[in-house]
Structure 1
Amino acid sequence: MAMPLASSPTARPTLVPVPTRPRRVLISTDTYPPDVNGAAYFTHRLATGLAARGNDVHVICQSDEGPAKASVEDGVVVHRLRSAPLLVHPTMRVTVPARLDRLVRAIEPDVLHTQGHFVVGRAAMAAARRNGVPIVATNHFMPDNLFQFAHIPATLREKAGRLAWRDFSRIFSRADHLTTPTPLAAKLLADQGFAREVEPVSCGIDLTRFHPHAEPKAWARKAFGLPDRETILFVGRLDEEKRLDELVRALPYVLNSTDAQVALVGKGNQRAELERLAGRIGVGDRVFFLGFVPDEAMPQAFAAADVFAMPGVAELQSIATLEAMASGLPVVAADAMALPHLVEDNGYLFEPGDVIGLAGRLTALLTDADLRARAGRASRELALTHDHQASLARFEEIYAEVAR
């Protein structure tokens, strides 16, 4: 770019520096806090993390109340679009479709980083294309995450899945650079016929917030109203694809060998059914539903546990599992999707649906303090490879590459 010249009758022309501004990143997403799910949490951490590193960050998302509004939240300019309740989900909202050209032109972003291909994502991508803004796209989507909310019968899910992947490919093929959280998630896209190269970039976790605690666990359990006994923890939505009924049904077998309890952090449409199941099989007093726990209190929730369990079968990475690992917890996880990449010497995998196998692996960890300590240390070591600062730095490199 040419530099303007300053001149005077007696001095030679000198270069006057052109004022520069921080990189301006526009993030589009169909789910953002106060929504409670992995994609919303990741997008919030991405936006606030980029802002803390000196970027000028804007987010386009659905309004959490209905009317459109804009505000600065945690150092990020958040543009909330007019929304309506999502009839198939009790808490989420959907944006009313709209062209976003005027907003994109007003923001003048250097890059769009979209977190999905639904209403906000595709509208933002279309506006970015029309206005010459390069696009980075990150996939958090699997059709399995939608089936229960859309009430699609099991007999139609295979066909519905193919249609969903076809729609995904049509939209995301327009991006300049594509990422997804894990190598396995990238392979999944290739297996579904997506021909473009997809780069694995971990969602990353804040290793300074999530770390092992040396103190006895009684203090953390007391804060959540939990009895002071061995605790199996789950964090996430209490929804169908998390398969929490298997964890509840495993508990009676665990109780044959150890005095244990299950604590479930999160909300979802399966809670009432899980409460009925726990009562019916005689463990109603051993399954605790902690509900929504604010993000700032999550380190204490992990500090209350001895083992972390993740029986879900539709995880493209599982931020909750990574946070548990960073907190020094051994892990018992379903041998499904990306979870095997998170389990080495730090715990066990079990075959989805094998309740007896799940119980055996939980029992092995709960009855052997030395094994539990070794697995916890291994969890922390594995988590150190997922530092979110490294992920943020890689995204900044990608933004520079597509901008060139």
Structure 2
Amino acid sequence: MRIAVVNNFYPPRSGGSAHLSQHLAHKYAQSGHEVLVLTATYGDAPAEEVHGGVRIVRIHAWTLPKTRFAANFDIGFTSSPKAKSRVFDLLDEFAPDVVHQHGQFFDLTWLSGWWARRRGVPTLLSIHTRLETPLSKFNDFVYTVADRILVAPLMRMHRPKVVVMDILMDRYIDKRYRRAISGKVSIPVGIDPEVLRGGEASGIRKELGLEGRRVVVSIGHVIPQRSRIALVRALPLVLEKFPDLVVVVVGGVYHDEFLHIAKDLGVEHALITTGAVPQARVPDFLAAADVEVHELEGLGFGTASLEALAAGTPVIAAIETDNFLDILVEDGRELYIAPPVSSREPRADPSALAGVLMRVLEDPAAARRQVSTNAHRLIEEHFTIERVAARHLEVLEELVSAR
């Protein structure tokens, strides 16, 4: 097959969506398929290159102004008359049998969907981010309107089959896009566990002055959906018992409310923010951690958390036990689950989170032993990029056969 992979986010830009689309593109190529990646320009990345057997073309992009609606995130958009011609020309030249899109609200998805409709080419769409937030009624209203008047109508243009990654995404797709898609298929997020294992802790501990201290690592960009606020609010109780504790936030800070709350609570001394780091350094941070914590808003379980499980690092998260649909997890078996504020507010309760943190940090080695074997089994059976890529290829071949 000739497969076009489309994502505004792609390495060297970091992030779960970028890394997953890269892993899948490489696996498609390794399986003998011809692959073209279309993405947006980013930093000093070359306009065109071949990497991992994949041709990558970066379309000139402009950056959306940093606002609360975009979570102060530097989203690169390519929309312009030249971009439309460039995308259509590239796809016409490559003549893909199928297009695998990532991100429902990116303009490269819209352009490739427009092209696919005109050429009668099937599309598979992986939705990584839900346009909703329980943290702000106003923002949630804006996202809902954007979904209704922009995203869903553009999706109806090519009616993709949609990849469902977890139970929250399944509910969201049914609520927002049910009439705009041709069907759903359940495939979890895939990771390469081997690249996460064997990290070197000593360099990170020395670099950040962590020797002899209990370390909580929090992986991923700070956005409203992963605000770290519950973690900061839990710190006063935890620091009373473990005054040497330090929380290392690894990722870009696009929403800094947690820093202001930390200052108000007098716990800012226990925080270190590193900014975005290359994925190659993530295993070292995980190796240096006693526990990883960042999914606390009750909004799911992302790639970074799966990577922490793969590395054998205990994870605390606010999720449902059936978060992965037919793949069940259990508190104290594969990970530690932070109790929610209430059934109507799924975000982690800071006091309850403090209790879980203190339980894990009381004996980090024992906490690791309790969950690491089961976490390793969970990843190997369901979340390796080999298994996930194979399932994607089955679906792509079905779409091509039914064309």
Query: What band does the TM-score fall into relative to the shorter chain?
Result: 0.7 to 0.9
* 2:343 alignment partner in structure 1: none
**Cα pair distance change 1:123/1:314, threshold 3 Å:** farther
1:266 Cα deviation after fit: 0.4
Instruction: Report whether the alignment pairs 1:366 with 2:382.
Output: no
Letter of the aligned partner of 2:117 in structure 1? R
- Whichever structure has more helix as a proportion of its residues is 2
275-284 vs 302-311, which deviates more?
Answer: 275-284
Deviation at 1:238, TM superposition (A): 1.4
Structure 1 contact 29–60 (Cα < 8 Å) conserved:
yes
Match of 2:22 in 1: 44
Question: Amino acid of the residue matched to residue 126 of structure 2?
Answer: T
Deviations 1:258-278 (A, max 9, x none): 34221110012234x444433
Q: What aligned pairs does 1:4-403 form with structure 2 within 5 A after superposition? A: 23-64=1-42, 69-88=47-66, 89=72, 91-97=74-80, 98-99=84-85, 100-117=87-104, 118-144=106-132, 154-155=137-138, 157-158=140-141, 160-165=143-148, 167-173=150-156, 174-192=158-176, 194-195=178-179, 196-211=182-197, 217-218=201-202, 220-258=204-242, 259-271=244-256, 273-313=257-297, 315=299, 317-335=301-319, 338=323, 344=331, 345=333, 346-351=335-340, 352=347, 354-368=349-363, 369-384=365-380, 385-403=382-400
Structure 2 CA distance for aligned equivalents of residues 291 and 36 of structure 1: 11
Q: Which runs of 5 or more structure 2 residues have no equivalent in the other structure?
A: 67-71, 341-346
Deviation sequence 1:306-326 (CA, Å, 0-9, x none): 111123437454000000011
**Equivalent residues of 1:204, 1:388 under 8 A apart:** yes
Whether contact under 8 Å (1:27, 1:47) holds in the other structure is: yes
Q: What is the deviation of 1:389?
A: 0.3
2:125 alignment partner AA: A
SS at match of 2:130: coil
User: Is the contact made by 2:290 and 2:313 (CA closer than 8 Å) also made in structure 1?
Assistant: yes
- Give TM-score, length-normalised by structure 2: 0.83
- Partner deviation per Cα, 1:276-334 (whole Å, 9 max, x = no partner): 43343232332111222211111111101111112343745400000001111222112
Paired with 1:143 and 1:366, the residues of 2 have a C-alpha distance of 35
User: Structure 1 regions of 5+ residues with no counterpart?
Assistant: 1-22
* 1:241 counterpart SS class: coil
Q: CA deviation at 1:96?
A: 2.3
- Whether the aligned pair in 2 keeps the contact of 1:218 and 1:228 (CA below 8 Å) is no
| Deviation by residue 1:148-182 (Cα, 9 ceiling, x = unmatched) | 9xxxx733623641541564333334335321222
Q: Which moved more, 1:335-344 or 1:202-211?
A: 335-344
The whole-number CA distance in structure 2 between the counterparts of 1:165 and 1:233 is: 37
Shift of 1:35: 2.9
Deviations 1:201-243 (A, max 9, x none): 1121112222377x8x545522554333221111111122212
Q: 1:360 to 1:322 in 2, by over 3 A?
A: same
Check whether the contact 2:226–2:297 (CA below 8 A) recurs between aligned residues. Answer: yes
Q: What do the CA deviations read for 1:31-50 (whole angstroms, capped 9, x no partner)?
A: 22233332222222222232
What's the CA shift string for 1:336-388, capped at 9, x where partnerless?
79489655422122212521111111111111342442123322222222111
Q: Normalising by structure 1, what TM-score?
A: 0.83
Q: What is the CA deviation profile of residues 105-151 of structure 1, one whole-angstrom value per residue up to 9, with x for unaligned ones?
A: 11111211111233110110111221232211111131137x99xxx
* Contact 2:301–2:319 under 8 Å retained in 1: no
Cα distance in 2 for partners of 1:234, 1:376 equals 18
Structure 1 segments of 4+ aligned residues over 6 angstroms from their partners? none
Q: Residues 168 and 299 of structure 2 are in contact (CA less than 8 Å); yes or no, is this contact kept in structure 1?
A: no
Cα–Cα, structure 1 residues 114 and 314, in superposed 2: closer, same or farther, change >3 Å?
Answer: farther
- More off after superposition, 349-358 vs 105-114: 349-358
Q: What is the one-letter code of the residue matched to 2:147?
A: A
Query: 1:176·1:402 contact (CA, 8 Å) conserved in 2?
Result: no
Q: Secondary structure at the match of 2:193?
A: coil
Provide closer, same or farther for how the CA distance between residues 348 and 156 of structure 1 changes in structure 2, counting only shifts above 3 A.
closer
- Could you tell me which amino acid in structure 1 is paired with residue 337 of structure 2? Y
- Further displaced range: 244-253 or 340-349: 340-349
Relative to structure 2, which stretch is displaced further, 219-228 or 294-303?
A: 219-228
Larger CA deviation: 339-348 vs 78-87: 339-348
Tell me which moved more, 170-179 or 336-345.
Answer: 336-345
Mapped to 2, the partners of 1:287 and 1:156 lie a distance apart of: 28
Identity %: 25
SS at 2:65 equivalent: coil
Larger radius of gyration: 1
Pairs aligned (count): 374
Q: 1:316 to 1:41 in 2, by over 3 A?
A: farther
Alpha carbons 2:196, 2:311 under 8 Å: kept: yes
Q: Indicate the SS of the match to 1:113.
A: strand
Q: Report the CA distance shift for 1:364/1:307 in structure 2 as closer, same or farther (over 3 A).
A: same
Paired position in structure 2 for 1:9: none
Letter in 2 for 1:60: L
